[in-house]
Amino acid sequence: MPEVLTAPLVVEFPFTRSLGPVQSAFLTGLRERTVLGVTASDGRVVVPPTEYDPVTAEEIRDLVEVGTSGTVTTWAWNPSPRRGQPLTTPFAWVLVRLDGADTALLHALDAPGPDAVRTGMRVRVRWAEERTGAITDIACFEPDDGAAEESRPAPDHSAGGAGRPAPHTGEFANPVTGITTPARLDYTYAPGRAQSRYLQALSDHRIVGERCPSCRKVYVPPRGACPTCGVATDTQVEAGPRGTVTTFCIVNIKAKNLDIEVPYVYAHIALDGADLALHARIGGIPYDRVRMGLRVEPVWAKGSRFPDHYRPTGEPDADYDSYKELI
């Protein structure tokens, strides 16, 4: 059993999302230090606001302004903040029901320790210094001793207001209509037994396939299973290194970060002794001279663990019948 290979794998994606009218108003409001909710079909004020009723799924749009202070409805103490979380020092996760709201908003609470946090405690928004129209415009919550500025706005005590939060048009100058949320996840990729054997052989300039014990086909590169028979391919077989171009395409568009002049040829190559074609770039020959049946061999760049490309061997072209099953 050879050593199993691993390698770091980083997946990053900056999702760009459009906002509907309700989400746009809410996130623009945060930029302006204003928290908006939406009135649901049953009269409840939903904060953060949704575009549809959480119970009936009907579209809802009646915005109201709620307070920037509220009450913790549940919490959890996080002693070891993780990447991307709102605070880098230990903090409490909290669900906060803002004054005037009937539902709670998830965020972080900056508190000295778990003993300083309890359900029912009063907290207020701490705004981020730079606000762009995102949930992170709320930097976090902080304990509200009631001494600081009053939670705003005051409930609507006008006739018919009945202490409910006041309606809000949701209109702001330069509304935010979209958000970009970058995300990064780190992995350690492990290709497994079969592919580890293949990659290790490649670094010795050998190409190793695996044979299916049932249909006898040789797969290069091997993945540990015969996709036709569904059984393990555990017999290693040397393949190539020479092979035959079975089909190809001419690439005319330069890929980002790829240092290869266009046009170039990408081809299916049936290695000698393999029953499945692999694909690779063809070099060492003008792009318009590549043809089906061309005999090729791998070229390793100095110090590389895998072939950089395949080049013509100079042999006569292979007979069509010898590779027609592998196109």
Partner 1 sequence: MRDVAIVAFGQSDHVRDSAETSEVEMLMPVLHDVLAQTGLAARDIDFTCSGSSDYLAGRAFSFTMALDGVGAWPPISESHVEMDGAWALYEAWVKLLTGEAETALVYSYGKSSPGSVRDVLTRQLDPYYVAPLWPDSVALAALQAQALIDAELTDERELAGIAARRRTAAGSNPHAQLRGEVPMGEPLVAPLRTGDCPPIGDGAAAVVLAVGDTARRLTDRPAWIRGLDHRIEAHGLGVRDLTDSPSTRLAAERAGAFELSHGRKGTGGAPMVDTAELHAPFTSQEVVLRRALRLDAPDSTVCINPSGGALAANPVMAAGLIRLGEAAARIQRGASDRALAHATSGPCLQHNLVAVLEGE
Closest to partner 1 by CB, 94 vs 318, is 94
122's CB contacts (< 8 A; 6+ apart) are: 69, 70, 71, 143, 144, 145, 146
User: For residue 4, what are its two tokens?
Assistant: 């199993």
Strands 264-271 vs 243-251: parallel, antiparallel or unpaired: antiparallel
- Closest distance of CB 86 from partner 1, Å: 6
| Cα–Cα distance measured from residue 126 to residue 133, given in angstroms and rounded to the nearest whole number | 15
- Closest distance of CB 9 from partner 1, Å: 5
Closest to partner 1 by CB, 50 vs 68, is 50
- Closest distance of CB 33 from partner 1, Å: 17
Sheet bearing 208-211, strands edge to edge:
218-219, 208-211, 235-238
Closest to partner 1 by CB, 11 vs 147, is 11
For residue 158, how far is the Cα from the chain centroid?
48
| Cα–Cα distance measured from residue 11 to residue 187, given in angstroms and rounded to the nearest whole number | 8
Closest to partner 1 by CB, 165 vs 298, is 165
- Closest distance of CB 61 from partner 1, Å: 16
- Closest distance of CB 286 from partner 1, Å: 34
Closest to partner 1 by CB, 49 vs 241, is 49
Closest to partner 1 by CB, 135 vs 237, is 135
Q: What is the DSSP letter of 65?
A: E
- Closest distance of CB 257 from partner 1, Å: 19
Applying CB under 8 A, the residues found at the interface with partner 1 are: 1, 4, 6, 9, 11, 15, 17, 19, 23, 27, 46-48, 50, 54-55, 73-79, 82-86, 93, 95, 97, 103-108, 114, 119, 134-136, 179, 181, 183, 185-195, 223-232
Nearest CA among 157, 172, 148 for reference residue 36: 172
